[in-house]
Structure 1
Amino acid sequence: MQDDEKSHDRNAPASPARRRLLLGAGVGAIAAAGATMMPQDASALSNESVTNAPESDTTAQRHSFYGLHQPGIVTPRPAAGMVASFDVLARDREQLEQLLRTLTERIAFLMHGGKAPELDPKFPPPDSGILGPEIVPDNLTVTAALGSSLFDDRFGLKPMKPKHLTRMQGFPNDALEKDLCHGDLVLQFCSNTPDTNIHALRDIVKNTPGLMLLRWKQEGSVPVQPPDKAKESARNFLGFRDGSANPDPADETLMNRIVWVQPDSDEPAWAAQGSYQVVRIIRNFVERWDRTPLQEQETIFGRRKASGAPFDGRTETDVPDYAADPEGKVTPLDAHIRLANRRDAEAQKHLILRRPFNYSNGISKSGQLEMGLLFIAFQADLEKGFITVQNRLNGEPLEEYIKPVGGGFFFALPGVKDEQDFLGRTLLEASGPQNARKA
């Protein structure tokens, strides 16, 4: 608050004495002072800037599309996210393969960036143009996952369905809306800016006519932090840090255990190096929350709101000692962090990798803010991961302030190994006599 107050004081009208001092200094001194201030003082910028594009030095950031795993899972999370779910309209396996190859081609181009193609102006333009003629990568990742509904009789995929992939069922506190749930195929877009995600979505929709139809989408974001704060977990719309106990995505051994399906698992062989994805659109009743005493808010979560530290710690990364608090006198037994992760050997079997975003969708018909959490999590075993953790959370005090309304369970495909490969190739090759054309 002190820094804000100083900034406010600098911009406040000068006192009469101050004005006389400035006038006495002469016009030249005032001009020199103004020239010195302009780079730091946004209010002194020319009126021309109100329609100029904002500056950024991150538009050239790029991730590789190719690899053992898809990007956008353990990749560092940027500021803007979006999940778009589709119904697949392909009529046969040949069209399904066409869809997957087209997705591969478009995602590879969008993530790399480049000049938008040009056609005869008598035809519709091949690109929406919202990023201009030069498409910048802007840290974009696009991650493709399949819903259980795709593993039906349409394409002969039923025998190849991942072992734990099911249609998401409602938990006790859910109020799932049909139009916001499930889908044959889901795409997760992550980039530095929302416009980059929208551009990528529109490109894919334009290039897959008749092959898939958009079912629902949800955009989200996380607050950007200055460098000295960037190592802290981002805050959700309840004001608490979200993901404090997330496993380290840079730990390859840990990710192989928690996130990636392994070749020697009980999953179908084609699914190796893929991951189960959970998407949950969780509305927050922020008006009610904002009228709740701070002490009660912290008790519900089991952490200090300002620092993110557990009650028996000083920093966000401190690990709570539940063994020394068996009766919950320090951290209540029904606190969110204690139910979600008991911090014992058994809990290690149920870890998940969270990748959430905040969302804001305007206002409800009752005049309340429609905002909350676009919860996204990845795990190698859906049953041991999210489903087990969520069952532990059923009935927690936090439920008074949240209401899951949409989402679904999906399986993120293995990565595309090189330019001759395509998304879902291992699945199509493994799923019966109508094998896909080999890459």
Structure 2
Amino acid sequence: MADQSIPGARTPETAPGGAREGALKGSSNGSSKGSLRGSAKSPAKEPAEESSRVSPEESAAGPRPGARSGTAPGEGISRRRLLGTAGATGLVLGAAGAAAGYAARPAEAVPLTSLGAGRVMFHGKHQPGITTPMQARGHLVAFDLAAGAGRREAAALLRRWSETARRLMTGEPAAQGDTDVARDAGPSSLTLTFGFGHSFFGRTGLEKQRPAALDPLPAFSSDHLDKARSNGDLWVQIGADDALVAFHALRAIQKDAGSAARVRWQMNGFNRSPGATSRPMTTRNLMGQIDGTRNPAPTDSDFDRRIFVPESGEPAWMANGSYVVVRRIRMLLDDWERLPVEEQEAVIGRRKSDGAPLTGGTETTEMDLEKTDARGNLVVPVNAHARITRPDQNGGAAMLRRPFSYHDGFDADGTPDAGLLFICWQADPLRGFVPVQRKLDRGDALSPFIRHEASGLFAVPGGAAEGEYVGQRLLEG
């Protein structure tokens, strides 16, 4: 929670956000037949970063004098912003979050009426939904291939899913059987991200292509895992700034699965909506803590090395891809909320009000781990979550945390079933999530207030080029 998302805890579970790069220029790959869900027309094809977004002002402005032919409306004035270090207290929730202690920054605050115009590119070097600013709504869903389905069926399914993702992310309806749920909305920064679980390779006869980094995660003492809600052959992450747009994508993906795959588990999440605060801020989690202060930023010199598999990496089909650890971390909110604020701050190591370290300064001030009080005690306790999750306390282990909060109702006794859908990205989970979670497992002050209830590890290949589908290099290589 503090500097990362809470991975490693037991039973319970943005400061001014830096801007992220790119005002998505958006691309309309394919024809615009059928009305867009939003009112803006699809812009001309234009290479753009995975995280870029087209602002509503740009969409409506039309080309400016001197703009080159074929540019998207308003391209000449679009500003590019770099995603800065995110919020303060990123819940490492479970094992995963501690290492890098950073969570993806929220998008720049924009008027709520403009949210529908946000557009993210489907085609690109990396899949969308990894470095894309955090969205207000999210769905995570895992599928298992149906009995008798193999490599051929999987390839056909990924081809369908990729085409559906491309269309929906540009604001077009699904190619077949569109439900009209999002008929009146724009793309709303929709992203769809696809990954493969450990079991996928055995079911498709591709065991030799299974990455070593996809070996099952070790057991942790804080785990109370429900196998029915863990792992899976295929994994899909959906994010959007509008709930109906997100659900529309979820329904389309589920329908596309047809007889090839069945849903194994599905989870719903949310974050603060862009524009809900007067200025961009690091998001807060359901414990009320600023979560994500020290998230790695794309501007860091070693960002790609830590988060993405290099071009020369193995296996070759994972080039420019990443590995995602997904943990459903229940927060024991009744226990947590009984603590006085001062004790909550000691557990995290940061002030609850603004995310600043207990040693002083602002959210982004470096924490002084050696500072003591008048009695000679460490100001930041030795077992504080923010101390344990710091990369310099974990051999430099880092991961990009991009979580969603969740609330699934109340137990019979009134206990809230709520917490964090912890999602962290790294080039190698054995060097990212695992060492941090192991350290959290040995004595994180936050552990008594959280419980890891589900877990999954998935290989997320690089982005699909124009004319390709996600995973094509694996399935047709």
Q: Does 1:391 align with 2:408?
A: no
1:150 counterpart letter in structure 2: F
1:146 counterpart letter in structure 2: F
Which residue pairs with 2:179 in the alignment? 128
Which residue pairs with 1:36 in the alignment? none
User: Equivalent residue of 1:66, what SS?
Assistant: coil
Deviation at 1:239, TM superposition (A): 0.7
Which residue pairs with 1:100 in the alignment? 158
Which residue pairs with 2:5 in the alignment? none
| Residues 333 and 94 (structure 1), Cα distance of their counterparts in 2 relative to 1, 3 Å cut | same
User: Equivalent residue of 2:138, what SS?
Assistant: strand
Which residue pairs with 1:352 in the alignment? 399
Deviation at 1:174, TM superposition (A): 1.4
Deviation at 1:379, TM superposition (A): 0.2
| Counterpart mapping for 1:112-151 below 5 A | 112-115=170-173, 126-132=177-183, 136-151=186-201
| Residues 80 and 365 (structure 1), Cα distance of their counterparts in 2 relative to 1, 3 Å cut | same
| Counterpart mapping for 1:300-315 below 5 A | 300-315=347-362
User: Equivalent residue of 1:59, what SS?
Assistant: helix
Which residue pairs with 1:157 in the alignment? 206
Q: Provide the C-alpha distance between the structure 2 equivalents of 1:271 and 1:223, rounded to a whole number of angstroms.
A: 32
User: Equivalent residue of 1:245, what SS?
Assistant: coil
Map Cα deviations across residues 171-206 of structure 1 (whole Å, 9 max, x no partner).
Answer: 101111122111111100110022211110111111
Structure label with greater radius of gyration: 1
Contact 1:340 1:393 in 2 (8 A): yes
Q: Provide the C-alpha distance between the structure 1 equivalents of 2:391 and 2:259, rounded to a whole number of angstroms.
A: 48
Q: Does 1:415 align with 2:463?
A: yes
Which residue pairs with 2:410 in the alignment? 363
Map Cα deviations across residues 94-128 of structure 1 (whole Å, 9 max, x no partner).
Answer: 211111111111111111112566xxxxxxx8122
Contact 2:173 2:180 in 1 (8 A): no
Aligned residue-pair number: 363
2:269 counterpart letter in structure 1: G
Q: Provide the C-alpha distance between the structure 1 equivalents of 2:317 and 2:370, rounded to a whole number of angstroms.
A: 42
User: Equivalent residue of 1:151, what SS?
Assistant: helix
| Counterpart mapping for 1:148-187 below 5 A | 148-152=198-202, 154-187=203-236
Q: Does 1:299 align with 2:340?
A: no
Which of structure 1's runs of 4+ aligned residues deviate more than 4 A?
225-230, 323-328
Deviation at 1:218, TM superposition (A): 1.1
Deviation at 1:407, TM superposition (A): 2.6
Deviation at 1:329, TM superposition (A): 0.8
Q: Provide the C-alpha distance between the structure 2 equivalents of 1:165 and 1:116, rounded to a whole number of angstroms.
A: 32
Q: Does 1:195 align with 2:268?
A: no
1:70 counterpart letter in structure 2: Q
Q: Does 1:379 align with 2:430?
A: no
Q: Provide the C-alpha distance between the structure 2 equivalents of 1:358 and 1:143, rounded to a whole number of angstroms.
A: 18
Map Cα deviations across residues 73-108 of structure 1 (whole Å, 9 max, x no partner).
Answer: 011112111211111226232211111111111111
Contact 1:147 1:167 in 2 (8 A): no
- Greater mean alpha carbon deviation, residues 307-316 or residues 377-386: 307-316
Which residue pairs with 1:235 in the alignment? 284
Contact 2:370 2:378 in 1 (8 A): no
| Residues 115 and 107 (structure 1), Cα distance of their counterparts in 2 relative to 1, 3 Å cut | closer
Map Cα deviations across residues 148-179 of structure 1 (whole Å, 9 max, x no partner).
Answer: 11121x32211111121123444101111122
- Greater mean alpha carbon deviation, residues 161-170 or residues 236-245: 161-170
User: Equivalent residue of 2:252, what SS?
Assistant: helix
| Residues 347 and 168 (structure 1), Cα distance of their counterparts in 2 relative to 1, 3 Å cut | closer
- Greater mean alpha carbon deviation, residues 284-293 or residues 165-174: 165-174
Give structure 1 stretches of 5+ with no counterpart: 1-54, 118-124, 431-439
Deviation at 1:308, TM superposition (A): 0.3
Which residue pairs with 2:167 in the alignment? 109
Which residue pairs with 2:117 in the alignment? 60
2:271 counterpart letter in structure 1: V
2:119 counterpart letter in structure 1: R
Deviation at 1:140, TM superposition (A): 0.1
Deviation at 1:322, TM superposition (A): 2.2
Q: Provide the C-alpha distance between the structure 1 equivalents of 2:279 and 2:225, rounded to a whole number of angstroms.
A: 34
Map Cα deviations across residues 265-315 of structure 1 (whole Å, 9 max, x no partner).
Answer: 3x2111110000011100011111111111111111000000100111221
More helix by share: 1
| Counterpart mapping for 1:248-263 below 5 A | 248-251=297-300, 253-263=301-311
User: Equivalent residue of 1:199, what SS?
Assistant: helix
Give the alignment's Cα RMSD to 1 decimal. 2.2
Map Cα deviations across residues 25-83 of structure 1 (whole Å, 9 max, x no partner).
Answer: xxxxxxxxxxxxxxxxxxxxxxxxxxxxxx73211211110011101001111211121
| Residues 296 and 225 (structure 1), Cα distance of their counterparts in 2 relative to 1, 3 Å cut | farther
Q: Provide the C-alpha distance between the structure 1 equivalents of 2:140 and 2:354, rounded to a whole number of angstroms.
A: 30
User: Equivalent residue of 2:451, what SS?
Assistant: strand
User: Equivalent residue of 1:83, what SS?
Assistant: strand
Map Cα deviations across residues 308-345 of structure 1 (whole Å, 9 max, x no partner).
Answer: 0011122111111225569861111110011111536x
Contact 2:298 2:304 in 1 (8 A): no
Contact 1:114 1:135 in 2 (8 A): no
Contact 1:174 1:404 in 2 (8 A): yes
User: Equivalent residue of 1:164, what SS?
Assistant: helix
Deviation at 1:405, TM superposition (A): 0.4
Contact 1:234 1:241 in 2 (8 A): yes
Q: Provide the C-alpha distance between the structure 1 equivalents of 2:188 and 2:114, rounded to a whole number of angstroms.
A: 10
